[in-house]
Each structure stands twice: as C-alpha cells, then as structure tokens.
C-alpha cells in the first residue's frame, strides 16, 4: 500500500518554518458557496499557535470570499528533481487584515495545523489503467442560471459518461465520446464518480479541467483533470489516500501484465 505519513505535535510548526525559510510557494484551496476556489500564497510568519500568509503578489488583493472561520487547504512540494514529496494540511482563518491601499495585499492569519500529511512523489506519477480493466467515469457540472420571472434561480446539472485512461493522486485523464455533445470547457470545475476496482466502493471528488484534446480516432475527447479540494478536510484526505493506493495497485497490475 502507498502509505501517507502524518506529522503531528511539534512537527507541523517545524514544517511551516521550513516553508518560511525556503520561501516555498503555497497552493491554496477553499470551498465557498458550493464552488471550489484556487489561489497561491506566500508564508510571511510562523507564530506560537498560528501562521500568517499573503496572497501571491500577482493578485491585487485578498479575494472577498476569504473570511474568518473559513476552512482552507494548503499544498506545497519540497525536494529536488524526481524525488520531491508533497505536503498537505488544512487550517481555519482566524483573521483577515484588508488594506484600503490597493497596492498592499493584506495579511491572513490562520490556526496552526494539528497535522501535516506527506505524500510520496510516486503517487503523483500518472499510471495508465490496466488493459483488463474497464473503468466507467461519470462527470457532472452544475451552474446557476439567471433568475427567472419568479425570481428563483434553479440549479442545472449536466453530465457525461467516459472511460478512465490514466490516473495519479493529483489528476486523471478521461475519454469522452464526442456524440454526448459539448459543455465541457477548460477552466470549469466538475464532479467525478467511478469505481476504480471491481471489489471497491465508488470514489467521488471534484476536479478542474486543465485541457481537452481529441484522441487519435477523432471520435473521442481526452479530458485532462486536476484533483481539487482533497487537502481541505479530513474526509478529502481519506479520498486522497485511496487515490494513492489505486495508483500503486494499477502500477503493480501493469508490471505483472508487461
């Protein structure tokens, strides 16, 4: 099994100090009003029971939807070449200092994480689905249309069915038949649901569409997706552990069939 290492007690603070000393960038994710949001941040201080960040300099200000009490997920990688590991943890916003000066980005204070999980680099290497498996994937998206004459905005769901082509702990590729119509677009967030092995329960999570390209036949689209939000909650990290194990199992099955 591809185990995830958990760092606790004094270790999370040491990890954050490493991030500060090495000036490592942080990937940030959070759920707001039913939608996932992604941004980047820099760590500016590590305190006794909290830490402070700024949204990366390319952003003019703190997003308006970051507020006190919000649960936030963080990811960063550390190491060199092909040997780096990925660190993930979640925290809660304690305070947001917004500045009236648009040139000043402002500071966000968050609680010190209780634990930091370390995922091995090999889990983020894409592995193809073993030839003897046929893994069906359901993809769906949700949108809120403008209010109708009654003033009510109903949620609309569109879905597609595809085949899993490859997977890693960080992303996957799904083949979708062109006959199902359009609607999938780069930059959209979607939900995914599939059963990775016959004797396992359904795996479900959110993803971000990074790229779309036709396959060699011209009859299917290859949808490249990035997994989002799993670092932001204990439940999400259990899904991440399952993804790591699936990557390991698929790799072993491919080696046995080679």
Instruction: Give pLDDT tens digits for 22-78.
Output: 999 999 999 988 888 889 999 999 999 999 999 876 655 677 789 999 999 999 998
- 80 alpha-carbon distance from chain centroid: 22
The answer to whether the beta carbons of residues 240 and 230 sit under 8 Å apart is: yes
Residue 105, CA atoms < 13 Å, CB-side half-sphere = 16
H/E element holding 117? strand 116-119
Looking at residue 217, its pLDDT comes to: 84
For residues 221 and 236, what is the distance between their CA atoms, to the nearest angstrom? 28
Q: Is the pTM of this model over 0.85?
A: no
More confident residue, 120 or 242: 242
- For the chain, the structural domain boundaries read 5-119, 124-257
CATH superfamily of the domain spanning 124-257: predicted glycosyltransferase like domains (2.40.10.220)
May I ask the CATH class of domain 5-119?
A: mainly beta
Tokens of 191: 């939900």
């Amino acid at each position: 099994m591809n185990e995830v290492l958990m760092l606790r007690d004094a270790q999370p603070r040491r990890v954050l100090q490493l991030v500060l000393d090495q000036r490592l960038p942080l990937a940030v994710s959070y759920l707001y009003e039913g939608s996932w949001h992604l941004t980047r941040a820099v760590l500016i201080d590590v305190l006794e029971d909290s830490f402070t960040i700024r949204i990366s300099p390319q952003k003019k200000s703190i997003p308006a939807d970051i507020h006190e009490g919000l649960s936030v997920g963080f990811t960063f990688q550390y190491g060199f070449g092909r040997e780096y590991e990925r660190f993930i943890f979640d925290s809660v916003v304690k305070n947001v200092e917004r500045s009236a000066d648009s040139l000043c980005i402002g500071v966000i204070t968050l609680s010190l994480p209780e634990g930091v999980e370390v995922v091995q680099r090999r889990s983020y290497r894409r592995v193809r689905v073993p030839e003897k498996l046929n893994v069906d994937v359901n993809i769906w998206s949700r949108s809120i249309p403008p209010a109708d004459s009654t003033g009510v905005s109903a949620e609309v769901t569109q879905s597609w069915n595809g085949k899993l082509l490859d997977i890693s702990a960080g992303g996957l590729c799904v083949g979708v038949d062109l006959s199902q119509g359009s609607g999938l677009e780069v930059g959209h967030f979607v939900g995914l649901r599939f059963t990775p092995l016959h004797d396992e329960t359904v795996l479900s999570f959110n993803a971000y569409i990074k790229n779309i390209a036709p396959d060699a036949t011209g009859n299917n689209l290859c949808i490249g997706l990035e997994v989002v939000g799993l670092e932001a909650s204990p439940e999400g990290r259990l899904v991440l552990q399952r993804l790591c194990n699936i990557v390991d199992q698929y790799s072993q099955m491919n080696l046995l069939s080679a």
